[in-house]
Structure 1
C-alpha cells in the first residue's frame, strides 16, 4: 500500500505549520496533566473530597488516556488521522467544560476521564509526522512533540499554581478550554486530510473488553486502600478486570486465526523483543515518574505538617517548571541524537539517568534544594532522553506494524502513569490519619516510584535494536499481518 502525503516535498514553512498545529493539539491534553497537579490541594478542599479521590481523578485521566490511544489510534486506520484527531479534541472540550462547571466530585471525575481520551492525539501526531518527513527530520519533530509531553516549558505548571491560588481550580480548566479551542482550529486549517491507511471495520467488541478490563484493575488498585483490599467492590473491580482481559485476549487470538475481523491488538506483537520490553519500559518509566511528579511531590511540598508548606504556585515553580523548561531544549536534541546513536541506546541512557536522579531525590527528601536540583535534571534524563526515545523507538522499531506499536506504546505510557499514581495514592492514603498525612507515607510513595524505575531500566536493557533502513523497507513490503497497522514511512 502506498500513501502519498500532500505535505511531502512542500516548503519548510508548510511543515512548520503542520508541526505547530500538532503541538497545539497535544498541548490541549497535556496541560490538563501538568496544570492541574499544583491545584490538587485546592480541588480536595473546594469539592470537599479526599486525597484518595484526588488520586482517583488522576488515575482515571491517565487510564482513559491509555485506552483512548489504543481505540482512537485504531479507529484512525479506518477514518483517517485528521478526522480522529478532531474527534479527540471535541471530547476534550466536553471534559474541560465538565471539570470547570462541576457541582460535585462525581461530575469532576467524569470530566477528567473525558479529558484523558484526547491523549490519542500523541500517537496520531507521531504517525502523521513519520508519514510526511524523512527519518532525520522525524526524530527532531518527535522531540518537539515529546517536549510538549512534559509541559509547555513550565509555564503551564506555574500558571496552574497561580490560578489555583487566586481564583480556584475552576480557572485552570477555563484556561485549558481556551487552549483546546485553539488546538481544534489549528488542526482544521493546518493538518492535511490524508487517506486512511486501512479498509475494514473497527473492533468495538474488543475495545469494550479492553476498556472494562483495564479500568477494573486500575480503579481497584487506586481505591483498594480506601475500600479495603478484601472488600466486595475491590474484588469486583480486580477480578472482573482480569476476566475481561482474559476474554479480550481470547477474542483477539480468535480474530487473528479466522481472519474474519482484524483484531484491535495484534497479539503476535507482544512476543517480540522490539515490543514487550518497550511496553514494560514505557509503563514502568511513567509509573515511577508520575507516582512522584503528579501526586506525591505536589502534595508533599504543600503539606504544612509533614512537608514544606509551600503555596501551589511556589511548588510548581520549584519542582515542576525547571524540568519542563530544560525538556523543551533537551527533547528535540534527543530527537536529533536518537536516529544517530540508536533509539534503544538513547533509551537505556535515559533510563539509567532517571533512576539515579530519583534515587538521590528519595534519599534527600527533607532537603528542598536537593530535591529541586534532582527534579530539574529530569529535563535531560526523563523529559529529554527517555520520553523522546520511547516515542521514537515505537515508530521505527516495527515498520510492518508501525501504527499498532505506536498506539500500544502510547497506551502503556498512559497505563503506567495511571498505575504509578494509583500505587502512590494507596501509599499516601494508608499514611493519612485524621486528615493528616505522615512524612513516612510520602517517603514510601517516592521509593515506590523509584522501584518502578528499576524495572524500567531492566526492560530497556532487553530491547532489541531497531531495523536498518533497508530492513525496514523489506518489512514494509512484506507485511501481511491481519492485525498490523501499516503506515508507510514516506521519504524514509
Structure 2
C-alpha cells in the first residue's frame, strides 16, 4: 500500500507549504458552496412571478440542485481519487460560477433550472476539501481542520440566509446569483494559488456503467421523496419511481460487487465503521434539516396564531445566523474530544446535544431568544457530529479511497435531509389551523417534527454505539501509517507479520 499513500511532503522532504492558508481556502470554498444552497430560499415564494411559471414548475429550481448534487457527489469523489482531488475541486467551483452566471442572466424557467443544476454539481466541494486535508496537512492539524471543513456546510447555510434575505429585500433578485458567481471566482483563484495537488491517486478505470446506474437509482429515489407530496404518495408516478429506484439500485449493487474498479467499493462500505457512520449520517441529516424547516416558519408565522412570532425573512435569518458561528466555534472542541476520546465518543456526544436541543425546543418556542438558544444548542451538537464523521471515515479507508468514501458519506447526509423535508412537509400539511381562510401549520405539528428530530438524533446515538472502539488518535494514525483501522487491528493481533 505504500505506493498508494505517498505524500507530497514525503517526496520532497519538506512540510506542505502554508497549511493555514490551505485550511482557510478550503473552508472558504465549503462556505461558498453552502451559501449557494440557501441563496434561493428568500425568493422561492416569488419565483413563479419572476420566471412567469406555475409554482409547481418553479419548484424545480430547488429540486434540480438536489438531484444534481446527489448524482455528482459520489462521482466526483471517485474521479478525485483517480485523477487528483484539487483538479476536481477546481472543476466543481467552475461549475458553481457557471451556474450562478446562467441564473443571473435568467428571466425564464428553463435557464434557471439549468443554472441551478450546474450549481448543484459543485456539491462535492466539502468531501473533496476534507480529502485534500488528509493528503496535505500535518497530522496534528488534521482533526481540527477536517472538523472545520465539515462544519462549513452549516456555517455557510446559517450565514447565507440573512445575507440572501437582505439582498432580496433591497436589490434586484439577480444580484443574489452575481454575488454567488463573484464568491465562486474568489474561491477558484484562492484554490489555484494556495492549495497544492496531491500525489495520492488510486488509478484504475472509471466505472461509467456504475455511475449511470447510481444516477438513475438516486434520481428516481429522490424525485419520489421530494415530489411525492405534490404528486400523491399513492400515485402511479411516485410508486413507479420508488419501484425503479429499488430495482436499479439492487442491480447496481450486484454489478458493483463484480466489477474490477467499482464507482463505490461496497465491500469497504460494508465495514462496520463505514457502515454505521453512514447510517448515523442519514439520521443526522434528517435531524439537522428538521430544525431548518421548523424554526424559520415559527419565526415568520403571524403572531395571531398564538405561537408564530411574525418576523420577516431577514429577521428569521438573523436569528438562525448564530448557529453557524456556534458550529465554527465548536469545530476545534470536537477535534479535541476526538483526539482524546476518539471520534466515536465525539459523534455520540453530538447526538445527545442535538436530541436535547429539540427537547428544549418543544418546551421553549414562544420568544425569539428561545429559538436563538435552541438553534445554538443544536448547532453545537451538529458541530460535534459533523467533525467526527470525516475522522471515522478516514480511519476506515485507505488514503487512495478518501475522496470517494467522504463523498458517499456526504450523500448519506443529503438523503437524510431529503427524507426530513418530505416527512416534515407531510406532517405540517396535515396538522393545520385555519387563520383568515388559510391553512397554516399548527403548533402541535411543529412539536411532532421537533420530536422526530430528537428521535433521529437518538437513533444516530444508537447507531454510533455500534462503531468499533478505537484510541483517540485513530484517524491520525491512519494518515501516518496508511493503514485502515481494521488493518491496524489485524496487525496488532499478529505482530510477527509486521
TM bucket (normalised to shorter chain) is 0.7 to 0.9
Change (3 A) 1:109 1:444: farther
Q: Does 1:312 align with 2:313?
A: yes
2:299 corresponds in structure 1 to 301
Bigger drift between 55-64 and 109-118 goes to 55-64
Q: How does 1:462-481 map to 2 (within 5 A)?
A: 462-466=466-470, 468=474, 473=481, 475=483
Change (3 A) 1:5 1:450: same
Q: Which has the larger radius of gyration?
A: 2
1:3 corresponds in structure 2 to 6
The DSSP-based 3-state class of the residue aligned with 2:81 is: helix
2: CA distance between counterparts of 1:471 and 1:225?
45
* Aligned-residue offset at 1:325: 1.4
Bigger drift between 404-413 and 183-192 goes to 404-413
Q: How does 1:392-471 map to 2 (within 5 A)?
A: 392-399=391-398, 401-430=401-430, 436-440=439-443, 441-466=445-470, 468=474
* Aligned-residue offset at 1:138: 0.5
* Aligned-residue offset at 1:385: 0.7
Q: TM-score, normalised by structure 1?
A: 0.86
Change (3 A) 1:215 1:466: farther
- Considering only aligned residues, what root-mean-square deviation do their CA atoms show, in Å? 3.0
1: CA distance between counterparts of 2:196 and 2:440?
51
Q: TM-score, normalised by structure 2?
A: 0.85
2: CA distance between counterparts of 1:429 and 1:166?
31
Q: Check the 8 A contact 1:331/1:385 in 2, yes or no.
A: yes
Instruction: Provide the aligned length of Structure 1 versus Structure 2.
Output: 471
The structure 2 residue matched to 1:77, chosen from 74, 81, 90, is 81
* Aligned-residue offset at 1:95: 2.2
2: CA distance between counterparts of 1:334 and 1:148?
14
2: CA distance between counterparts of 1:47 and 1:454?
42
Q: How does 1:318-333 map to 2 (within 5 A)?
A: 318=319, 320-333=320-333
Bigger drift between 333-342 and 359-368 goes to 359-368
Q: How does 1:27-176 map to 2 (within 5 A)?
A: 27-43=31-47, 46-47=50-51, 57-58=61-62, 60-152=64-156, 154-167=158-171, 169-176=173-180
Bigger drift between 386-395 and 105-114 goes to 105-114
1:258 corresponds in structure 2 to none
Q: Check the 8 A contact 1:19/1:141 in 2, yes or no.
A: yes
What are structure 2's unaligned runs of at least 5 residues? Answer: 488-498
1: CA distance between counterparts of 2:375 and 2:325?
12
2: CA distance between counterparts of 1:14 and 1:27?
20
The DSSP-based 3-state class of the residue aligned with 2:257 is: helix
Q: Check the 8 A contact 2:220/2:242 in 1, yes or no.
A: yes
Change (3 A) 1:461 1:25: same
Change (3 A) 1:220 1:187: same
Change (3 A) 1:470 1:317: closer
Q: Check the 8 A contact 1:52/1:426 in 2, yes or no.
A: no
The DSSP-based 3-state class of the residue aligned with 2:18 is: helix
Change (3 A) 1:392 1:408: same
Q: How does 1:247-286 map to 2 (within 5 A)?
A: 247-255=251-259, 261-286=260-285
Bigger drift between 337-346 and 420-429 goes to 420-429
* Aligned-residue offset at 1:272: 2.2
Please list the CA deviations of residues 32-83 of structure 1 after superposition, one character each: whole Å capped at 9, or x if unmatched. 1344444444446645778877876555534433432211010112221111
Please list the CA deviations of residues 450-483 of structure 1 after superposition, one character each: whole Å capped at 9, or x if unmatched. 332232222122222347466773736998xxxx
* Aligned-residue offset at 1:201: 1.4
What are structure 1's unaligned runs of at least 5 residues? Answer: 256-260, 480-492
Change (3 A) 1:143 1:154: same
1:386 corresponds in structure 2 to 385
Bigger drift between 437-446 and 224-233 goes to 437-446
2: CA distance between counterparts of 1:121 and 1:325?
20
2:342 corresponds in structure 1 to 342
